[in-house]
Structure 1
């Protein structure tokens, strides 16, 4: 087999694996959402931690959809997920944390938020040049 054909087969195989894994992530996330909703019904209350967890799941699904539609994964989306996860962690365990841990989590959240701002500023002010070879 010529090398270009092997390369095409390799690319198609990897893309197939990629789509299977994205499907698994989506199904697992929807399952986790269902479990969380069932949990809220069982205890007959909705807490802020539950809502933040649902937002994390929603962001994961949005990330998968974005990746499927554009073929790109914006680095900001995982950072958003990390910010919400840190906020949830802080809300759930704040009473049992010492001051230094609370400060570290707060500073980490601020650093991540600043990172999003810097990335967004860079995308607006310093965009990648258009690749003429890719434009058809």
Structure 2
């Protein structure tokens, strides 16, 4: 019986190790692909500005979006946590870029302008809510003796 239990445990450990290897390999490959695509897109956008001979506010805001995407990939690569605030910043910048382009280039402002401003305002409130929540309920990582993350604990500040 001891031999069977030992074999089962060994097979289980091997399967876990192989599964972790496959998942982590896919994870890192995906991060590198997303990072490379972000760099590629920002270089293409920048070269388009150089070819035009000037940069509009739309172009600059697009570069800010690429910068935030790159920062988000970098933070996720280092911590394995996706910072939701960066997604909110990207959404705010994208709506602002759309708003500026829509008003300055295309048509007379209408009710759509209020919708865009309302969306930006709601996203800004979301950033505020996330900041308050992360300050009030900070997440601390619990590490084992090898420095591996075991889980999260949430400590409420008094």
**Same structural fold, with TM-score higher than 0.5 when normalized by the shorter chain:** yes
CA drift at 1:98: 5.0
Does residue 9 (structure 1) correspond to residue 18 (structure 2)? The answer is yes
Unmatched tracts of structure 2, length 5 or more: 1-9, 146-158
Give the structure, 1 or 2, with the largest relative contact order (CA under 8 Å, sep 6 or more). 1
Question: In structure 2, how many angstroms separate the alpha carbons of the residues matched to 1:8 and 1:103?
Answer: 53
The one of 5, 10, 24 equivalent to 2:33 is 24
Which of these residues, 124, 130, 134, is aligned with residue 119 of structure 1?
130
Structure having the larger proportion of residues in helix: 1
Who is 1:105 aligned against? Answer: 116
Aligned positions, number: 134
Q: Which residue of 2 aligns with 1:58?
A: 67
Q: Give the TM-score of the pair, scaled to structure 2.
A: 0.78
CA-based RMSD: 1.7
Work out the CA distance in 2 between the residues paired with 1:16 and 1:97: 51
Counterparts in 2 of 1:62-81, with a 5 A limit? 62-81=71-90
Whichever structure has more strand as a proportion of its residues is 2
